[in-house]
A = this chain, B = another copy of it.
Amino acid sequence: MSPGASDAEEVEKANTAFYEAMERGDFDRLSELWLDEGISCVHPGWPVLSGRGEVLRSYALIMANTEYIQFFLTDVKVSVAGDTALVTCTENILSGGPAEEAGELGPLVGQLVVATNVFRRTPDGWRVWSHHGSPVLAETDSDEDEDTPA
């Protein structure tokens, strides 16, 4: 951990590392970022997955079917309480699956997903306890009324 960095800064770095591991298709790094016990994961539109077996298998499947994926994170908000941290963010996703022709990239698809990520402090840094991502389907009409940005 970087000396002098606040908890919130360390948590945001762990959150970024989580998405970077997905972007690189780095399954080992992703596995390392998840806690050992009690974890759960909801991919957009999916049911709940529980435990490392189910969760990590889902990532292996997604990585196998994803040729290219990039996350542009916006609205990242971090709330730390003791050894737990809650992160919410908007995942502006650009992704592409394998194309029909070998060596080609599949068609790119844009997707708007919101996520709630829960992290626990461990001796090895902050680790993911829960990830819940869901598609944004509705528009909020009255969200323009001020509200202080975090």
Contacts and interface: CB of A to CB of B under 8 A. Distances in A.
Contact of A88 (B50, B61, B149): B50
A129 interface: yes
B132 A116 contact: yes
Interface string A33-63: 0000111101111111011011000000110
Interface in A92-109: 93, 95, 97, 109
B84 A40 contact: no
A40 B120 CA distance: 18
Number of chain A interface residues as a range: 35 or more
A147 B54 contact: yes
In the complex, which of the residues A37, A51, A75, A86 has the most CB atoms of chain B within 10 Å of its own CB atom? A86
B75 A48 contact: yes
Interface of A: 37-40, 42-48, 50-51, 53-54, 61-62, 65-66, 69, 75, 77, 79, 81-84, 86, 88-90, 93, 95, 97, 109, 111, 114, 116, 118, 120, 129-130, 132-138, 140, 143, 146-150
